[in-house]
Structure 1
Amino acid sequence: MPKKRNTDILSSPDAPNMFTGEAPLESAHKVWAKVDKELIYALGPNVHRSWTGRLSVSDACAFSVNLTAPTRFIASKIETQYFDDVQRLWAKHDVVAPPRQITISRPVSHMTPSASSLKNRQPGKALASHRPPALGASKIDASENTQPKATTTRYRTKASFERSDREMALNNTAVSDTPFGDTGASAFDGTARARMGESPRQRFTFDNFVVGAPNEFAFAVARQIASLDEPQYNPVVLHGANGIGKTHLLYAVQNAVEASDPTRRVKLISSEKFVNAFVSSVRGGGRDEIEAFKSSLRDVDVLIIDDAHFIADKPGSQEELLHTLISLVGEGRQVLIAADRHPDLIEKASDRLKSYLCSGLVCKISAADYELRLRILDRLIARRRETANATLAIPQNARDHLAARINATPRDLEGAFNQVVAQSELLGTPITLETIQETLSDSRYSKGMRLTVDKIQRAVAEEFGIALNDMTSKRRARDIARPRQVAMYLCKKLTKRSLPDIGRRFGGRDHTTVMHAVKRVDSLRAEDSVFNSRVSAVETTLKG
């Protein structure tokens, strides 16, 4: 082997080699051409073609050389498995003594060069701020200003996937801002926010989320995810019916993480975009496009996927989802997923995917109860007063009726609220219990509304002036026992629940107690007209 020639260490890092007269970048390209050929034999043609063969020299000085990979995923793979081979072969051919240190730059997807830096950049030269560190620096250049070498390709790149995310976000600006939003549009980038104003998704925060017994556990888990750098539970799955708040929590996590630590990379993607991007990358037929898709999902600190149950319906996309989860969880990166059912109940999901989804933490968001719906309604009223109608007035009995009748989801509750408020504001009529009943009489909100034991207990307690917890207490005083019997009677008459089930909901009483209550109320209604009118009034209210 010819003896290496020394470079004057005291000279400028950008000065030509004093023996060869070559500039550092020029000599680096020549050395890399030799190393590139030897890597084919050292690693094999398939490995080289997929990984190390995709490196290129982007910058060099007398002490170091920067190699750039097209994606962060490829850079990470080379760093962990093939870096020693690259460095060894470089040292064999480098004309500089000691051999220059190799660094591999990872493209940073969420950063773009400023306008001034692009203006001042000279063709054919790397940005000055992108020069790799001196000898002894780490082999991965983690500087947030590092940019990949500009290339022209017929395939979609990772940046094109991200542009699609932003474009889709712009197309979803008209989505309504529900307290429990449940669609999967991407959040705006900073430029779009400034140009088009605040996105409704930006209002999906923890502060705007109405917490109650059905969702308090999921809320606490989401808050923990947003506050911790290292995952404590991974992956986390939120599941529940559509319209109950899953997507609100997903965006709340994204907004909280981005606000507290802008350097953490967060990606929120819907199942539709996941499947479309995957299919597009496969149909493109190129390795670059497939790797770009994988990198767009795996080069993040927090990955959030909405409506993941739809991905499980597509075998190919399901397999890619599984590999993505394994990769991210294995590297200690947080994964948060929302679905409309428990992972075990996703019919077309493989056993392996079900097992992996259940290996972390599964949180159910239950249907909103009366108390939570009433809180959501109060929040809707307050927001309307702040933004559009400061004099909006809805009497308490009208609020109670809305919260009791619209018992499907919080999204349905907001739809009914908007219908009532719009008719009042446009026609100039006051909002009362009667106008609400009339407004919603022909709507979907007045159909199929199932009466519950909870609603019946509440209505009877209000009519007879007792506390709600008296319905399930052990007290036997007549002024407590008689309303309790009325509630049991109405539960038997207006619902399809069995006698044992009704008894359990009244403090664990026996079914014979419910049978006695039904007979006693029937008898009293025939004997006492006043008592009969009070029971009839409660029944009429419950029937709406």
Structure 2
Amino acid sequence: MSDNNDDQSNSSELSIENRQKWERVRGRLRAELGEAVYNSWFARLELESLKDGAALLTVPTKFLKSWIQSHYADRIRTRLCAEFSSLDHVVIDVRSPTRRARPRDAEIASGAAVEKTSPAPAAAIVERLEPQAAKAPMRAVARADGESFGGSPLDRRLSFSTFLVGPSNQLAYAAACRVADARPGEHPLFNPLYTHAAVGLGKTHLLQAVARSANDNKRRVLYLTAEKFMSGFVSALTQHSSIAFKEKLRNIDVLIIDDVQFLQGKSIQQEFCHTLNSLIDAGKQVVVAADRPPSDLETLDERVLSRFKGGLCVDIGPLDEELRMKILEARIAAAQEAQPSFHVPPAVVTYIAKTIVTNGRDLEGAVNRLLAHSTLNGAPLCVETAENAIRDLVRSAEPKRVKIDDIQKLVASHYNISRADILSSRRTANVVRPRQIAMYLSKVLTLRSLPEIGRRFGGRDHTTVLHAVRKVEDLASKDKSLSEVIELLKRMLAE
């Protein structure tokens, strides 16, 4: 009874306005991460209370808590702070087993509440399975693949012939072609091939092109997303067909895994590592893609990371203007096949290529908006029309104004300490280095003077700040991993 009463008490602390703000945070996360990721990891994340500048979020299991803290804590904190201006820090905790998460008001009002009979995502199944593997029978997932485990579906549009090449992706494209063109029995030159890129830059396109081309070369190919691998492994365990699952994986010529950053769970990672070792040692090809380099995949087993690092690791960088023009022209040509009257003046194409600099998906979205304006309004397109049509896709050219408070919170979160630790007089190593990095970022990302930065860091002297800046600059020039961490923090602060 006490747990239920506590839950009601927490519920009463949230006003209707605060619940609406939380729903906006959820909606933003869903839009940014996509339905698959959101439903796997965030569907059961709830805002329990707001008190004294702290937001308490809860999830039903330790597994989800650990995963979200490791991968999405900063993103969640940023989105919450955008809605709740007085928020100082965010706590993620595990709900007690007898306490039920509150239904989401906005979803209930719109009739979008999830049915109790909906199949659980792989993340939820892994949570239940991880501590005790398959000691007891479990209810099978809808359309389980334990007995007839197949690959993820391929998009017929994603082939080498439709992949547009530029300076940012030329190496990745050449390596993928080399892998795909290998003949059966030929020893792989690059194994594994590890490609990493930000969202929408073409890594999935390359992987599916490799799968299609290798299959045309009479090689046995299995293309999987990390989610598909996880659900297949879990289903095999629950249906007592794990031997058949392992045999199928080991009897292929080319294994392709997309979004490997989502691979989670000790037993699943162990099985993936065994599969990886078995295939590579047998001269079979492995191709992997992720959204970051192997060194940044902190949750993956070190043995898996060692295998990744031992192969060829290539990244796909941002699209240059020439490549953006090529992508736009290709998307417009494809749209004209379905709508022959669709015409985009060269000035509009140039404007969009210069304005949208993020990724290929945003460029495709821009063409779709132009197509809608052209066909629904019937008016010829011009730069002014295009400007209105793609307004939501354009990021402000004005750089974000970074605050020292934001820097302190982000650095504290990254190094698993509190903001109070950074401002304190503590001199332990786990506090001093993050404090120096926060001072360095405050100097390079804000217009504040050294004395003012010192005051914002617990009343320190400006010489302390200067020493911290020079120390971090010196260390970053010698330590590549530290330099990468600093660049990551800069990008996160700029979002």
Using structure 2 for the length normalisation, give the TM-score.
Answer: 0.50
Q: Which of 1 and 2 has greater Rg?
A: 1
Q: What TM-score do the two structures reach when normalised by structure 1?
A: 0.45
